[in-house]
């Protein structure tokens, strides 16, 4: 058995959870926050048989698209007296970070 952790954007999580459930898998949702953009993320966890791992990862891949967004850069002013003017920077957001770990024992009560 495998435990799959998928860290996805909050925007993608409702659709992804629905598709994972529709395929017959149970999923647990944890709220999390990204370190780089400090944006809302969702960490999804599901336990599957080894043979089902590729199917679940395929569902995650199809429902967690990365996209470009403009954010304001947070560069502090220099010590030379320059004023602080945030400017937009284009970054990739969304997508998924997936971890797969072996499970020795699993019980559902």
Residue-wise pLDDT tens digits, 47-67: 999 999 999 999 999 998 776
**Domain 2-74+85-102 belongs to what architecture?**
2-Layer Sandwich (3.30)
Of the two residues 25 and 11, the one the predictor is more confident about is: 25
User: Comparing 42-46, 67-71, 73-77, 85-89, which segment has the lowest mean pLDDT?
Assistant: 73-77
- C-alpha closest to that of 101 among 11, 20, 2, 7: 2
Percent of the chain with pLDDT over 90: 51
pTM of the model: 0.74
Residue 83 makes CB contacts below 8 A (sequence gap 6+) with 77
Look at residue 98 and tell me whether its pLDDT is greater than 90.
yes
């Amino acid at each position: 058995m495998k435990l799959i952790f998928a860290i996805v954007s909050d925007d993608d999580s409702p659709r992804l959870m629905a598709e994972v459930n529709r395929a017959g898998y149970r999923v647990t949702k944890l709220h999390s926050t990204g370190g780089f953009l400090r944006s809302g993320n969702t960490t999804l966890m599901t336990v599957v048989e080894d043979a089902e791992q590729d199917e679940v990862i395929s569902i995650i891949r199809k429902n967690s698209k990365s996209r470009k967004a403009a954010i304001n850069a947070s560069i502090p002013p220099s010590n030379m007296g320059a004023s602080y003017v945030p400017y937009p920077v284009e970054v990739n957001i969304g997508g998924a970070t997936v971890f797969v770990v072996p499970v020795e024992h699993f019980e559902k009560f």
